[in-house]
Amino acid sequence: MKEFFGKEGWLKDFIPGFEFRDDQLRMSEFVLDSVVDLKNCIVEAGTGIGKTLAYLIPVVQYAVANQKKVHISTETKALQKQLVEKDIPIVEGILKKSGCRDFRHSLCLGSSNYPCRRRFEALMSRGRYRAEDSGFMGILKERFDSDLVFTRFDVRVPGRVWGEICRESDACGHQRCFFSRRCPYLLARKEWADSDVLIMNHHLFFTNIASGRSYLPAGDIAVFDEAHSVGEIASSQMGFTAGYFDLLELMRIMTGSSKRRGLADLIPETQKAGQVKKLCGKIITESGKFFEGLRSRLGGESYYTRIRDADGRGTAIVGLVKDLMVILAGVDDLGDAEEHARMEFDIIRGRIFLFQEALGSFVHRTCEGWVYWIERDKNDILGDVVLKGQPVDVSVPMRESVYSSYDSCAFVSATITVEKDFSFFASNLGLDSYRSISIDSTFSFRDQVVLYIDGASALQENPQNTERITGISSEIIKMMNGNCLMLFTSYKMLGETRELLGDMIDHEIYSQDLSSASEAFDMFVNGENSVLMGTQSYWQGIDLPGDLLRSVIMVKLPFAVPNYPPCEARIEMIREAGGNPFLSYQVPEAVIKFRQGFGRLIRSRSDRGIVAVLDSRILHKSYGRVFLKSLPECRVVYTLDDLARAYSALDGVKASL
């Protein structure tokens, strides 16, 4: 590793202005040793040490020399883009210089991001696209004719057009498909099979695991960058979501309507077709009553867990859907039906099967150690109820399906430990034996950031406190001339604060309760001196370097909502095992998120700014110490006057305050 990362190492020929960093060399040696010794490892590496190259170079070099395949999984698209466009080309160049053979890499996306040639050709031949879309169809045709892999991100076509031609996993004929030799998706899979390094996101990694590893070629080494989010994503990807309107739609496509023939009409045996329609009708009637019952349990709440199938209606529907599946599974001849109709029949049959599995699991609680609940679908204005299920504790599936499949796994993030202790992260992910290293950031937080704590905010939420928080926030926003990120833990408080703040400042506010997270983020980036307000997704993974961000205001300590079913089930599980869920789960989880929130501010050595914590529990509760001790050393102030003075005294700050 010294030959790559040392003072006179090869990296200096590939990175303009390369600076030798002992910590980067140390991390690369640690990762290499772990991979060579077939050990799992956890690396906490603060910002600025060059951690991506510090794991990429040793892992790829080892893999290429030993004919191993590497899976690299990240949380965000931004990091995938950085890997593909910036870091991998450096690794290619540097390994070549070292005498290593060339290696191949591929970016792997979820299947609906690839186009389906069969669907495209069917659409073209039937001419069933809008006149205004003919330009987009021309663009797609050119791409298809090139016989090269492309994805939705390579062509600028509207979502509605893409939806008509994207690959549908349950309708894909694979090698049996007439277009298989010229199919971009199958070409992509061939590239994956031939590649040494596959790059993907955590969602795809765990979807692949949940599908019995049927999507991606097997790997030998797994690296999880942005590893702090692995547990949460693993849990949700291994579970299911099944909505009432999804079931209704499937049944209606089967039975048809006054305007449209049903798929059941394709079945040549009229008796079978009649049975299918009859069963679908019964399922519609029974599920209407079943879901109505669930909806009334929900009342005004967002979710509900204590569901019992006391009247046996759930069991009856599972039975009906199973009977339907038995008949549909026996249909192997659709007579003279057209190709696209056969395709649709296969898709809908597959979806009914998946629904039956989810419904059966929900009603009969078939998966031990899972939490099952119902939830109001926030995206559905008609108020659909969805059934949900997922493992409470991912340590078991991680052991059974991940660690047993790879020679070694490396988990890398800037925020993994709680007071330098790895045990919360490790036990959460079922890592029984692992090596670990924690490397501090190279940034000088004392010279770059001032931490303001409001020690007088109320311990319990009340309207006066919201006014107080808004007042302090407005002062900070004015002081820093905008470019402020405000982080909340609830939409309610976000909405109340936004309304009050709008009358107090002259800066534009972009908020996650008025636009989607990505829209609000884009508007903030393109705006000037504005304010970005958000919950969940903004605490981690967003990158606003340089002057784009001058202050971060954390309105509350980021404890998870305790009655959110997966959280509630976890608390229950720890309590039943005799543990203390607050100290062993809720506090450590919130601390890691808090560190993520703090980390949004300083992204480079030249960044300067303010982090404000407006939750006095950090000072007045015993657990507050754990939050404070988990932050890097920086100047802490408790009044706005001191904040102004301390900020103006920061090295390089010339702001007139």
Q: How far is the CB of 417 from ligand SF4 (least distance, A)?
A: 44
Q: How far is the CB of 129 from ligand SF4 (least distance, A)?
A: 17
Q: How far is the CB of 173 from ligand SF4 (least distance, A)?
A: 5
Under the binding rule (CB under 6 A), the answer on residue 177 touching ligand SF4 is: yes
**Pair type for strands 551-554 and 609-613:** parallel
Phi-psi region of 9 (alpha: psi -120 to 50; beta: other; left: phi over 0): beta
Total number of residues binding ligand SF4 (CB under 6 A)?
Answer: 13
- The stretch among 123-131, 174-182, 304-312, 348-356 that binds ligand SF4 (CB under 6 A) is 174-182
Under the binding rule (CB under 6 A), the answer on residue 189 touching ligand SF4 is: no
Under the binding rule (CB under 6 A), the answer on residue 186 touching ligand SF4 is: yes
Using the minimum distance from each CB to ligand SF4, give the nearer residue, 116 or 644.
116
Element at 437 (helix H, strand E) = strand 435-439
CA distance 108 to 391: 26
Burial 455-493 (b: 16+ CB within 10 A, else e): eebeeeeeeebbebbbebbbbbbebbebbbbbbbbeeeb
For 148, phi then psi, to 5°, come to: -115, 160
Using the minimum distance from each CB to ligand SF4, give the nearer residue, 179 or 245.
179
Using the minimum distance from each CB to ligand SF4, give the nearer residue, 150 or 179.
179
For 505, phi then psi, to 5°, come to: -130, 160
Using the minimum distance from each CB to ligand SF4, give the nearer residue, 172 or 387.
172
- Closest by CA to 453, choosing from 654, 600, 594, is 594
Using the minimum distance from each CB to ligand SF4, give the nearer residue, 185 or 422.
185
| Contacting residue, 4, 62, 185, 192, with ligand SF4 by CB under 6 A | 185
| Contacting residue, 42, 91, 94, 183, with ligand SF4 by CB under 6 A | 183
Under the binding rule (CB under 6 A), the answer on residue 165 touching ligand SF4 is: no
| 238 touches 257 (CB < 8 A) | no
| Contacting residue, 76, 82, 112, 180, with ligand SF4 by CB under 6 A | 180
* Chain CA centroid to CA 555, Å: 23
CA distance 311 to 316: 9
- Closest by CA to 202, choosing from 500, 517, 412, 425, is 412
Using the minimum distance from each CB to ligand SF4, give the nearer residue, 51 or 118.
118
Under the binding rule (CB under 6 A), the answer on residue 162 touching ligand SF4 is: no
Q: How far is the CB of 219 from ligand SF4 (least distance, A)?
A: 23
Q: How far is the CB of 187 from ligand SF4 (least distance, A)?
A: 9
| Contacting residue, 71, 118, 202, 388, with ligand SF4 by CB under 6 A | 118
CA distance 398 to 19: 38
Using the minimum distance from each CB to ligand SF4, give the nearer residue, 166 or 479.
166
| Contacting residue, 172, 283, 426, 486, with ligand SF4 by CB under 6 A | 172
Q: How far is the CB of 318 from ligand SF4 (least distance, A)?
A: 31
Using the minimum distance from each CB to ligand SF4, give the nearer residue, 179 or 623.
179
CA distance from start to end of the chain: 47
Q: How far is the CB of 143 from ligand SF4 (least distance, A)?
A: 13
Using the minimum distance from each CB to ligand SF4, give the nearer residue, 144 or 373.
144
Q: How far is the CB of 123 from ligand SF4 (least distance, A)?
A: 12
Give DSSP secondary structure letters for 228-294: GGHHHHHHHHTSEEEEHHHHHHHHHHHHB-SSSB-GGGG-S-HHHHHHHHHHHHHHHHHHHHHHHHH
| 543 touches 601 (CB < 8 A) | no
DSSP 453: E
| Contacting residue, 69, 71, 117, 617, with ligand SF4 by CB under 6 A | 117
Q: How far is the CB of 355 from ligand SF4 (least distance, A)?
A: 22
| Contacting residue, 18, 129, 150, 179, with ligand SF4 by CB under 6 A | 179
Subset of residues 229 to 258 that bind ligand SF4, contact rule: CB under 6 A: none
CA distance 256 to 39: 56
Using the minimum distance from each CB to ligand SF4, give the nearer residue, 177 or 636.
177
Q: How far is the CB of 436 from ligand SF4 (least distance, A)?
A: 42
- The stretch among 133-141, 183-191, 449-457, 633-641 that binds ligand SF4 (CB under 6 A) is 183-191
In this structure, which amino acid lies at residue 257?
Answer: S
Using the minimum distance from each CB to ligand SF4, give the nearer residue, 150 or 582.
150
Using the minimum distance from each CB to ligand SF4, give the nearer residue, 172 or 472.
172
**Pair type for strands 105-107 and 197-201:** parallel
- The stretch among 169-177, 201-209, 225-233, 374-382 that binds ligand SF4 (CB under 6 A) is 169-177
| 551 touches 531 (CB < 8 A) | no
What Cα–Cα distance (Å) separates residue 646 from each residue in 404, 545, 604, 637, 649? 52, 21, 20, 8, 5
CA distance 278 to 155: 44
For 418, phi then psi, to 5°, come to: -120, 115
Under the binding rule (CB under 6 A), the answer on residue 174 touching ligand SF4 is: yes
Under the binding rule (CB under 6 A), the answer on residue 112 touching ligand SF4 is: no
Using the minimum distance from each CB to ligand SF4, give the nearer residue, 185 or 355.
185
442: helix, strand or coil: coil
17: helix, strand or coil: coil
| Contacting residue, 173, 217, 495, 527, with ligand SF4 by CB under 6 A | 173
In this structure, which amino acid lies at residue 243?
Answer: G
Under the binding rule (CB under 6 A), the answer on residue 152 touching ligand SF4 is: no
Q: How far is the CB of 81 from ligand SF4 (least distance, A)?
A: 25
Burial 200-234 (b: 16+ CB within 10 A, else e): bbbebbbbbbbeeeebbbebbbbbbbbbbbbbbbb
Residues found near ligand SF4 in the complex (CB under 6 A): 116-118, 167, 172-174, 177, 179-180, 183, 185-186
